[in-house]
Amino acid sequence: MNDAAPAIEVRGLTKRYGKRAVVDHVDLTVPRGRIVGFLGPNGSGKTTTIRMLCGLLTPDEGTGTTLGLDLRTHAAEIKRRVGYMTQRFSFYEDLSIAENLDFVARVYGLDDRRRRVREGLERLGLTARAKQLAGALSGGWKQRLALAACLLHEPELLLLDEPTAGVDPKARREFWDQLHGLAAQGITVLVSTHYMDEAERCHRLAYIAYGKLLAQGTADEVVRQSGLHTWEVAGDDVAAIVDELRGRPGVEMVAAFGNALHVSGTDAGRLAAAIAPLRDRPGRAWREVPAGLEDAFIRFMATARDNVQ
């Protein structure tokens, strides 16, 4: 097997429920040893895509490989070599942390379970809490348990479905430090998230909306793909000009960022002409700024077609 080949390589990946394509001809490449952020609104197809990539769902159309294994014909082998962390905590709350990890080791048929459980506890800083019931854990500690369970069978690829939802900022930061440590060891990570600060910590990004993959690449590449030009206005009561800005030709988006507004459009000339009459008003400062990831994602979402309708 070619270790230089992508960890994930799919073309035209499609899954339908009835007449609705919840994943619609997605092309996705995930390089080995990298962290790729999978972003998109709720209902965009992220979870369905992840389940096809790890062999839990069979695509209706499309071809591709996970770890060099065909999605359709080698689903069982893919499951053995991938760690999948679901959105919801899925462990036994009346078992301790150590007992849950031992159960997972039994499910995988792993040898030397005691050693693997001990090392799993140590890797995620769970040793002191090994006898604590899973149901008594906070969100951050449940997250650590889930990640420890994902790593027990030494997977080459982690598929993490919104793993930090409902977790406090400190635990989220520690979790991401752990992910970067795993990537440095050569483990590939595909992680879905709604958080922009997490998106910025990924090596690459893929953005999906209504089943369509709209952009992928580094953060800078994704922002460039949005085609946006952005001005920032800060000062006295900027909220008062929101409606006025939104009605002007060339202004495609107006979004609040703290005490400032980002005013964006894809035609730099028309955008500059649209804001020109407002820039002479006192009490506000205007400056052209690079579009950010959040600007880009709002733009992608605004131009995507709803697959429910």
Whichever domain contains 152, its CATH number is 3.40.50.300
> Is residue 80 within a helix (H) or strand (E), and if so which, with residue range?
helix 75-81
Instruction: At 262, list the tokens.
Output: 């980002």
Helical (H) or strand (E) element with 189? strand 188-193
Note down the domain range covering 87. Answer: 8-222
Q: Residue 236: helix, strand or coil by DSSP?
A: coil
Number of domains comprising the chain: 2
Q: For residue 74, give the DSSP letter.
A: -
My answer on whether 214 and 236 are in the same domain is: no
* Residues 174 and 137 both lie in one domain: yes
Please report the pLDDT score of residue 41 as a whole number. 86
Averaged pLDDT of the chain: 92
Distance in angstroms (rounded) separating the CA atoms of residues 277 and 258: 23
d(CA 48, CA 22): 8
Ranges of the chain with pLDDT below 50: 1
Between helix 97-107 and helix 113-123 the angle, nearest 10°, is 130
Query: Which pLDDT value is given to residue 243?
Result: 92
pLDDT at residue number 214 = 93
Strand (E) positions, 75-165?
82-85, 157-161
210 and 246 part of one domain = no
My answer on whether 204 and 150 are in the same domain is yes
**Cα–Cα distance for residue pair 210/48, rounded to 1 Å:** 12
CATH number, domain at 236? 3.30.70.2070
Strand order across the 8-17 sheet: 20-30, 8-17, 61-66, 69-70
Question: How many other CB atoms are there within 10 angstroms of residue 231's CB atom?
Answer: 22
Do 133 and 170 belong together in one domain? yes
In sequence order, the 6+-apart residues with CB closer than 8 A to the CB of 24 are 14, 45, 210, 211, 212, 307
The residue with tokens 């792993």 is: 110
For residue 297, being part of any structural domain is answered with no
Confidence (pLDDT) at 189: 97
Residue 1's pLDDT is 47
HEC string for 259-281: CEEEEEECCHHHHHHHHHHHHCC
Q: Which pair of tokens denotes residue 305?
A: 């077609």
Task: Please check whether residues 34 and 106 belong to one and the same domain.
Answer: yes
Rounded CA-CA distance 144/126 in Å is 8
Domain match, 116 and 242 both? no
Strand partners, 63: 11
**Predicted pLDDT of residue 307:** 62
Q: Is 113 inside a domain boundary?
A: yes
Is 303 a domain residue? no
* Rg from Cα positions in the chain: 22
Report the pLDDT value the prediction gives residue 117, as an integer from 0 to 100: 96
Is the same domain home to 63 and 205?
A: yes
Q: Does any domain span residue 298?
A: no
Residues 176 and 62 in one domain: yes
Nearest to 22 by CA among 30, 13, 33, 11: 13
d(CA 3, CA 189): 15
In whole angstroms, what is the distance from residue 208 CA to residue 23 CA?
Answer: 9
215 and 264 in a common domain: no
Q: Do 280 and 218 share a structural domain?
A: no
Domain identity same for 35 and 139: yes
Please name the residue ranges forming H helices in 31-74. 46-53
Instruction: Tell whether 119 is covered by a domain.
Output: yes
Q: What is the pLDDT of residue 259?
A: 87
CB 34 within 8 A of CB 188: yes
Cα separation of 48 and 53, whole Å? 9
Q: Cα separation of 20 and 271, whole Å?
A: 37
pTM of the model: 0.89
| 46, 214 Cβ separation under 8 angstroms | no
Per the domain annotation, does 239 fall within a domain? yes
